[in-house]
Amino acid sequence: MNRKYLILNETLYAYACRNRSHAGDPLLAELQEETLRVTEEFSRMQISPEQGSFLRLLAAAIGAKSAIEVGTFTGYSSICIARGLAEGGRLLCLDSSAEWTDIARRYWNKAGIQDRIELRLGPAIPALEQLEEDLVFDLAFIDAEKTEYDAYFERILPRMRTNGLILFDNMLWGGRLGNPACDDETGMAIHALNQKLAQDPRIEAVLLPFADGIQLCRKR
């Protein structure tokens, strides 16, 4: 079997990050720096810059006008998605933290995209169950409580249009998955979902070894 892949080192990773559209965006760099400054412990929850470019590109490529994000944190991914939306597009953000999303709101204003985004605070599962009946999404990004990913998926999938995209972050769980010794609750939940998505006839899925692993799913 031809196993064609690269193991990234710091030099190669930095090269890949430099050679992308929107590299060095000053507003996103400022947001990264503030997030690290105010919460070094949790700053790892922020997506990587290349993931942000990927989200923006996908949103634009499919002409997304309606998107949902579960897990907003300080707003990096929401800015990238909102910037990629078609004219008149809207992004619905679900998050449980007023503290972190207050930072997100400030940067939405700085980016001039606040009119494209609606934030709903509270636990994600009830919020998904209370969505308006007529809401349909083109793009979904899921990056919240990992043990609830499957629950988010089952509530979001019926609201996706045909050929709509659902993305999950952290699906390689720090490189621990694929190792029989990985027995923590979160890792097992992610592993079970990866296996489920690979076999689910309602979608087409590919697990990308990109950042901490992204599952990219297309609704059939």
Give the structural domain span for 198. 23-219
Split into its structural domains, the chain has a count of 1
Q: What is the CA radius of gyration of the chain?
A: 17
- For residue 14, being part of any structural domain is answered with no
- For residue 141, being part of any structural domain is answered with yes
Domain with residue 169: its CATH number is: 3.40.50.150
Token representation of residue 186: 């979160």
Q: 137-142 and 117-121: which strand pairing?
A: unpaired
Strand partners, 19: none
Confidence of residue 174 (pLDDT cuts 50, 70, 90): confident
- For residue 194, being part of any structural domain is answered with yes
Give me the pLDDT at residue 181, please.
Answer: 66
Q: Which residues contact 118 (CB under 8 A, 6 or more apart)?
A: 90, 91, 92, 93
The answer to whether the beta carbons of residues 156 and 207 sit under 8 Å apart is no
Quote the CA–CA distance of 151 and 144 in Å, as a whole number.
11
Residue 41 has pLDDT above 80, yes or no: no
Side-chain-facing half-sphere of 216: CA atoms under 13 Å: 10
Q: Rounding to the nearest 10 degrees, give the CA dihedral for residues 138, 160, 217, 215.
A: 80
- For residue 1, being part of any structural domain is answered with no
> Could you tell me the maximum CA-CA distance found in the chain, to the nearest angstrom?
51
Give me the pLDDT at residue 42, please.
Answer: 81
The answer to whether the beta carbons of residues 63 and 86 sit under 8 Å apart is yes
- For residue 16, being part of any structural domain is answered with no
46-66 pLDDT tens trace: 999 999 999 999 999 999 999
The answer to whether the beta carbons of residues 144 and 95 sit under 8 Å apart is yes
Token representation of residue 31: 């947001």
Count, residues in the chain: 220
Q: What is the pTM of this model?
A: 0.95
- For residue 132, being part of any structural domain is answered with yes
Looking at residue 151, what DSSP letter applies?
Answer: H
- For residue 74, being part of any structural domain is answered with yes
H or E element: which one contains 91?
strand 90-95
Question: Average pLDDT for residues 88-102, to the nearest whole number?
Answer: 97
Question: Average pLDDT for residues 26-34, to the nearest whole number?
Answer: 96
Token representation of residue 173: 């769980």
The answer to whether the beta carbons of residues 103 and 150 sit under 8 Å apart is no
- For residue 111, being part of any structural domain is answered with yes
3-state class of 118 per DSSP? strand
